[in-house]
């Protein structure tokens, strides 16, 4: 005899407690449930009700268990004990960013993404995925101007408006920014009121030197506590990511976010390394 608690089609048994009233029940001429009322929900409808995590598990039913994926930052890293290097990517989100996230996830490595505010609405899903997978997001202004050429109010708006948009999209606070072109001065820093994150290694990926050169610059050109600059708008930088992470680890360095590099407390002012 079929078990009503486990419908054969993969549906769901729902039991309404006594005393429940609803417009849907009223449409069936039931003012309220007089006693426990069992209902069988078909499999397709039940799937629509479930959370994404449950659906992901349901789709794997019958498959060998391969473990549960963990975000890159699920195991805290103490950069006062372990030599760390912060990988950073500017100008996204772009069409290449999901590929970069795949590469970092495969390596269990984390990074900081400095986002252009105007690109965030079109890449909202990517921004949310970036945060969900344990990476850090920060402001790279709304439209990538040289902040030192703007009034204090305009410079603040460029950085803070992008930060607000990122926060609204990703649901996390934005606490730092990267000035476009590295152009920043005391007036801009005072106006913005956030740490300005620069770098110790500029890979110059925008000049398209090739994947091998990017790997060499990032792996061999950095020291412990360094911050490496890439752009996730360039395919070569994305393609090079797995070899860069492996190369850094071969040297004994752990790739981390900027905040992790400083133990969660990034210093104020202009920051280019730990």
Q: What is the dihedral of CA 226, 178, 167, 99, to 10 degrees?
A: -60
Pick the catalytic residue: 90, 205, 232, 236? 90
For 4, which DSSP code?
T
CA distances from 170 to 59, 123, 135, 142, 262 (A): 27, 11, 11, 16, 22
CB atoms within 10 A of CB 216: 17
For 119, which DSSP code?
G
Cα–Cα distance, 221 to 231 (Å, whole number)? 17
Is residue 232 annotated as a catalytic residue, yes or no?
A: no
Cα–Cα distance, 91 to 55 (Å, whole number)? 33
Is residue 90 annotated as a catalytic residue, yes or no?
A: yes
> At 37, which helix (H) or strand (E)?
strand 37-41
Structure tokens, 165: 């948009």
Pick the catalytic residue: 231, 232, 234, 236? 231
Cα–Cα distance, 158 to 73 (Å, whole number)? 29
Among candidates 244, 168, 180, which has minimal Cα distance to 212? 244
Active site residues: 90, 231
């Amino acid at each position: 005899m079929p078990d009503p608690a486990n419908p054969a089609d993969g549906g769901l048994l729902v039991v309404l407690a006594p005393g429940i009233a609803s417009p849907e029940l009223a449409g069936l001429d039931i003012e309220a449930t007089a006693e426990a009322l069992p209902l069988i929900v078909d499999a397709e409808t039940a799937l629509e009700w479930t959370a994404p995590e449950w659906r992901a598990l349901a789709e794997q039913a019958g498959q060998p268990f391969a473990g549960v994926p963990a975000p890159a930052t699920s195991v805290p890293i103490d950069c006062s004990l372990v030599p760390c290097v912060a990988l950073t990517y500017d100008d996204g989100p772009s069409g290449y960013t999901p590929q970069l996230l795949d590469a970092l996830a495969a390596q269990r490595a984390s990074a900081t993404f400095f986002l252009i505010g105007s690109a965030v609405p079109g890449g909202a899903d990517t921004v949310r995925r970036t945060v969900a997978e344990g990476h850090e997001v920060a402001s790279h202004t709304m439209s990538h101007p040289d902040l030192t050429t703007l009034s204090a109010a305009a410079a603040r708006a460029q950085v803070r408006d992008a930060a607000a948009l990122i926060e609204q999209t990703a649901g996390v606070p934005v606490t730092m920014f990267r000035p476009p072109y590295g152009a920043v001065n005391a007036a801009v820093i005072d106006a913005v009121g956030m740490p300005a994150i620069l770098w110790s290694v500029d890979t110059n990926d925008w000049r398209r030197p090739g994947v091998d050169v990017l790997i060499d610059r990032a792996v061999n050109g950095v020291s412990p506590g360094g911050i490496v600059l890439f752009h996730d708008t360039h395919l070569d930088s994305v393609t090079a990511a797995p070899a860069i992470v492996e190369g850094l680890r071969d040297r004994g360095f752990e790739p981390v976010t900027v905040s992790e590099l400083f133990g969660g407390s990034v210093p104020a002012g202009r920051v280019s390394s730990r």
